[in-house]
Amino acid sequence: MRLFVARDNMASVLNASSWALPLTYAYDALARATSPAALGRAVLIDVLAVTGFTLAALVLGALTLRRRTP
């Protein structure tokens, strides 16, 4: 049993939900950055998506955590 499977081999529901996860964009950006082809617009989109997920997590954390200052 394999833990990681190519998105093309996944069920359609899992494939669609994978696009809502940041690991998809991070992997695609790394795969494109290490390929010999020129970096294009797709890498920029992947980097912006990962940055957006990171900022959203930071904002949600800042809004939901209580401050404990005396």
Check pLDDT > 80 for residue 36. Answer: yes
CA gap 27, 18 in Å, rounded: 12
Residue range 18-40: average pLDDT? 90
Q: Do 26 and 47 touch, CB atoms closer than 8 A?
A: no
Q: For the full predicted model, state whether its pTM sits above 0.85.
A: no
CA gap 26, 21 in Å, rounded: 9
Q: Looking at 5-9, 14-18, 31-35, which range is the least confident one? A: 5-9
CB under 8 Å to 26, separation ≥6 — which residues? 46, 50
Is the model more confident about 10 or about 57? 57
How does residue 1 score in pLDDT terms, banded at 50, 70 and 90?
low
